[in-house]
């Protein structure tokens, strides 16, 4: 039986007359990394804020660990670590002092644990630096340290790689994968950076204009990505004549651009098309079997929906 | 609650506002110390303590407390720490209550600083008439006035939650201090929440033909209104990111 750590039923949020989250039915499976993908303003942050009780829903239901968080807040929320947008910490304090406040208030203050998580996010060397002097990447890393300090069962991370350099992104990606795969932590992560979600998530939720359009597993996603063969030819006119003779239809079976033709049907016959081109005196410079990337899929998917 | 207070103190570490508030607490004694040399009015310890208490609780404290409240309650918004704190998780009511308690503790610290610095500066000025009883009575009077003032500042908590910027608090505090000066001596001064604490604590209220019970009622009503609206606002509105 599938166990959902996060489940929402028709979750909605309206500001004045503007419905920023519209009947979202989200299902985050235990132990999985769920990537919430959407443009800026799609409703990702508001949805996460409602899950964390920072924003009150206008309608719908939330279940965390199978329970109503309004009734079982003391039991549920200590199991969650989170980052919402840029992490906020006390600017006059160091990373250690900020984590000490969190640990003390939570009631599980442990200096060794703080040092350990600071090492995990590469902030152990900046002991005396105050938060106000942190770079954006350092702030983000401290946010992650605060989120994992108490060994949560669920991480809700809103754009956690914002401001990180490529090395930092790689480190955080590795850390999150480790937390999920080695420790079984469920992760809900939002991003507008498609490649990041593609690299990380087991399941992707596509969100646009406050609506969760679909939830697709990574395997299912690859099945649904359009595949095509790309021919780069010396004479596009002659190549198109070959396709026309075979009664292939433009825009449905193929598209073209300069000297490149993209074939979307009959992909298993690409060697035969290549032979026909050569027979017609066309030099075929490249034949690539390609797959639509997530960005192209996202654009197509959102515009279709 | 003790942990919350301990953490509120940690939050004040390296904080300029805390240092500025200490300077603010020393300022009335310092001005009165200068006045000892500027005006020949037969200064004694008793007069010094009395003047410091009046200027502190009827004037300086208004501006100082407005700034302190704005910093204490507004910084969680300005430094975006509210979302971090509330997702620990911390109950919103408990969080608000801990801020109120911290504000009271901060006031107590400043009261001690004001009274001690008054005593030290009195000795430096070579004044006569110091006694332990005078010192304790003067401290008790200032403490009582400041605790009553604390109660009247709950509406400022709501303003600080609503407008998190410190500028309105500074302008409002300065304005209210001026209003206090204008009202002081008027027949209806005992019914103004920010004037009557000093009048009650100093005993000057006896010179007015008014009911002291009504003054207490005004203070308590102000506290209750501020507490309720700040609680409702803080617990019922979404956390701004």
Give tens-digit pLDDT for A149-179: 999 999 999 988 887 888 888 888 888 888 8
Tell me if chain A has a CB within 8 Å of the CB of B87: yes
Tell me if chain A has a CB within 8 Å of the CB of B11: yes
Stronger pLDDT, B41 or A25, i.e. the higher one: A25
Average pLDDT over residues A212-219: 88
Predicted confidence band of residue A293 (pLDDT cuts 50, 70, 90): confident
Average pLDDT over residues A218-244: 87
pLDDT in tens, B199-219: 999 998 888 888 899 999 999
Look at A44-53, A91-100, A237-246, B181-190 and tell me which has the smallest mean pLDDT.
B181-190
Q: Does B1 have pLDDT greater than 90?
A: no
- Supply the mean pLDDT for chain B: 91
Residues in contact with A273: Cβ distance below 8 Å, sequence separation at least 6, in sequence order: A229, A231, A242, A263, A266
CB A36 within 8 A of CB A44: yes
Q: Does B41 have pLDDT greater than 80?
A: no
Is there a contact between A90 and B85 if contact means CB atoms under 8 Å apart?
Answer: no
Q: Does B220 have pLDDT greater than 90?
A: yes
Chain A residues within an 8 Å CB radius of B1: none
Q: Quote ipTM for the complex.
A: 0.84
Is there a contact between A84 and B14 if contact means CB atoms under 8 Å apart?
Answer: no
Q: Rounded to whole angstroms, what are the CA distances from A225 to A140, A212, A285, A289?
A: 32, 19, 25, 13
3-state SS track over chain A:
CCCEEEEEEEEEEEECCEEEEEEECCEEECCCEEEEEECCCCCHHHHHHHHCCCCCCCEEEEEECCECCCCCHHHHHHHEEEECCCCCCCCCCEHHHHHHHHHHHHCCCCHHHHHHHHHHCCCCCCCCCEHHHCCHHHHHHHHHHHHHCCCCCEEEEECCCCCCCHHHHHHHHHHHHHHHHHHCCEEEEEECCHHHHHHHCCEEEEEECCEEEEEEEHHHHHHHCCEEEEEEECCHHHHHHHHHHCCCCECCCEEEECCEEEECCCHHHHHHHHHHHHHCCCCEEEEEEEECCHHHHHHHHHHHC
Average pLDDT over residues A243-260: 87
Tell me if chain A has a CB within 8 Å of the CB of B35: no
Which pLDDT value is given to residue A221? 81
Chain B residues within an 8 Å CB radius of A72: none
Tell me if chain B has a CB within 8 Å of the CB of A101: yes
Which pLDDT value is given to residue B187? 86
**Cα R_g (chain B), whole angstroms:** 19
Size of interface A-B (CB pairs under 8 A): 80
Average pLDDT over residues A140-145: 90
Roughly what angle, to the nearest 10 degrees, separates helices A95-106 and B2-11?
170
Average pLDDT over residues A74-100: 92
Which pLDDT value is given to residue B222? 95
CB A17 within 8 A of CB A186: no
Predicted confidence band of residue B155 (pLDDT cuts 50, 70, 90): very high
Q: Does A237 have pLDDT greater than 70?
A: yes
Q: Rounded to whole angstroms, what are the CA distances from A188 to A4, A35, A183, A200, A217?
A: 12, 6, 15, 11, 14
Percent of chain A with pLDDT over 70: 99
Which pLDDT value is given to residue A128? 83
Who among B4, B89, B238 is closest to A55 (CB)?
B238
Stronger pLDDT, A96 or A198, i.e. the higher one: A96
pLDDT in tens, B113-143: 999 999 999 999 888 889 999 999 999 999 9
Strands A284-291 and A254-257: unpaired
How far is residue A87's CA from residue A147's CA, in Å, rounded to a whole number?
10
Give the DSSP letter of residue B15: -
Q: Does B153 have pLDDT greater than 80?
A: yes
Q: Which of residues 126-185 of B touch A (CB under 8 A)?
A: none
Stronger pLDDT, A294 or B65, i.e. the higher one: B65
Phi/psi of residue A154, nearest 5 degrees: -135, 130
Which pLDDT value is given to residue A30? 92
Which pLDDT value is given to residue B164? 83
Is there a contact between B87 and A73 if contact means CB atoms under 8 Å apart?
Answer: no
Chain A residues within an 8 Å CB radius of B10: 93, 97, 100-101
How far is residue A149's CA from residue A170's CA, in Å, rounded to a whole number?
20
Is there a contact between A104 and B6 if contact means CB atoms under 8 Å apart?
Answer: yes
pTM: 0.83
Phi/psi of residue A91, nearest 5 degrees: -70, -25
Q: Which of A51, A12, A45 is nearest to A28 (CA)?
A: A51
Which pLDDT value is given to residue A305? 67
Q: Which of A214, A216, A266, A165 is nearest to A32 (CA)?
A: A216
Q: Does B42 have pLDDT greater than 70?
A: no
């Amino acid at each position: 039986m599938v166990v959902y750590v996060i489940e929402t039923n028709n979750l909605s949020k309206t500001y004045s007359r503007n419905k920023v989250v519209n009947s979202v039915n989200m299902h985050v499976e235990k132990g999985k990394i769920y990537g919430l993908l959407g443009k800026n303003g799609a409703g990702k942050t508001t949805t996460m804020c409602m899950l964390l009780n920072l924003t009150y829903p206008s309608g719908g239901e939330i279940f965390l660990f199978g329970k109503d968080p309004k009734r079982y807040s003391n039991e549920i929320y200590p199991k969650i670590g989170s980052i919402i947008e840029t992490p906020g910490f006390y600017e006059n304090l160091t990373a250690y002092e900020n984590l000490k406040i969190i640990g003390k208030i939570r009631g599980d203050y442990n200096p060794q644990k703080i040092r350990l998580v600071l090492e995990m996010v590469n902030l152990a060397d900046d002991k005396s630096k105050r938060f106000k002097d942190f770079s954006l990447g350092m702030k983000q890393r401290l946010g992650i340290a605060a989120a994992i300090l108490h060994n949560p069962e669920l991480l809700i991370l809103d754009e956690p790689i914002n401001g990180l350099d490529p090395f930092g992104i790689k480190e955080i990606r590795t850390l999150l994968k480790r937390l999920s795969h080695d420790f079984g932590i469920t992760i809900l992560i939002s991003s507008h950076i498609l490649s990041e979600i593609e690299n990380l998530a087991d399941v992707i939720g596509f969100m646009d204009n406050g609506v969760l359009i679909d939830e697709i597993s990574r395997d299912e996603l690859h099945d649904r990505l359009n595949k095509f063969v790309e021919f780069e030819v010396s004479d596009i006119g002659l190549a198109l004549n070959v396709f026309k003779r075979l009664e292939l239809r433009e825009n449905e079976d193929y598209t073209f651009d300069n000297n490149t033709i993209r074939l979307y049907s009959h992909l298993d016959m690409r060697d035969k098309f290549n032979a026909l081109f050569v027979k017609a005196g066309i030099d075929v410079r490249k034949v690539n079997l390609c797959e639509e990337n997530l960005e192209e899929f996202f654009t197509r998917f959102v515009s279709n929906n | 609650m003790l942990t919350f207070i301990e953490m509120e103190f940690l939050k004040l570490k390296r904080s300029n506002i805390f240092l500025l508030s200490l300077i603010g607490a020393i300022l009335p004694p310092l001005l009165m110390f200068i006045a000892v040399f500027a005006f020949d009015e037969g200064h004694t310890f008793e007069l010094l303590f009395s003047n410091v208490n009046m200027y502190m609780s009827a004037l300086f404290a208004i501006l100082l407390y407005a700034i302190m409240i704005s910093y204490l309650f507004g910084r969680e918004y300005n430094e975006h720490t509210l979302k971090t704190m509330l997702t620990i998780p911390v109950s919103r009511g408990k969080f608000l209550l801990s801020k109120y308690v911290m504000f009271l503790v901060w006031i107590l610290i400043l009261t001690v600083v004001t009274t001690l610095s008054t005593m030290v500066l009195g000795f430096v000025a070579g004044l006569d008439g110091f006694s332990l009883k005078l010192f304790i009575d003067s401290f008790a009077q200032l403490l009582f006035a400041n605790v009553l003032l604390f109660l009247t500042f709950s509406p400022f908590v709501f303003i600080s939650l609503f407008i998190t910027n410190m500028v309105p608090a500074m302008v409002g505090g300065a304005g209210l201090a001026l209003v206090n000066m204008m009202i002081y001596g008027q027949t209806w001064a005992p019914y103004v929440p920010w004037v009557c604490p000093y009048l009650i604590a100093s005993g000057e209220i006896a010179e007015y033909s008014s009911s002291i019970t009504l003054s207490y009622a005004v203070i308590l009503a102000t506290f209750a209104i501020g507490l309720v609206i700040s609680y409702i606002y803080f617990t019922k509105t979404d956390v701004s990111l």
